Amino acid sequence: LKWQMLAIKQRDEIIKLVPERAVQVELQQIFAYTETGARNAVGSLNAGTPFEEVAFVYDPAAGGYLGWVPEGYLLIPALEQAAFSLPVGEYSGIIESEIGYHIVKVLAREERPLSHDALLSLQRQALHNWLADKRESSTIEVLID
């Protein structure tokens, strides 16, 4: 029981370090399963069709709206890198991932409170990083032959 209490205390100390506010970007994406689909989307954008209209063609239900996301939340590193390096109002080139092809547009950028889901995700990531760091810096010695 003592070890469990210590583990809980350590966990709480680690997740307490994750801020409840962060700079976030509001994103919209065009997602295509094929490279041809993504190239067609870029062709439409280059022809002057607004990003929002093209996004609704590829995602009629939500128009590709991803909402507000903090750094460290997106599962696709190249998508996150683009999202946090693009100026507001700009969109990326085609970003290939394991699931398809993305074109992402930054609608806004500001510091704001994290959503509950984003906060939990960043807390889990902080715990994972702490544990990975401890494993890497630890030495295990086998004392039994």
Task: For domain 22-113, give its CATH number from 3.40.50.140, 3.10.50.40, 3.20.20.140, 1.10.443.10.
Answer: 3.10.50.40
Residue 126: its pLDDT value, please?
85
For the chain, the domains span 22-113
Q: What share of the chain is helix, strand, coil (3-state, %, to 5)?
A: 45, 25, 30
Residue 54: HSE in the Cβ half-sphere, 13 Å Cα cutoff: 25
Tens of pLDDT, residues 30-80: 999 999 999 999 999 999 999 999 999 999 999 999 999 999 889 899 999
Tens of pLDDT, residues 119-141: 888 889 888 888 888 888 888 77
| Mean pLDDT across 78-100 | 96
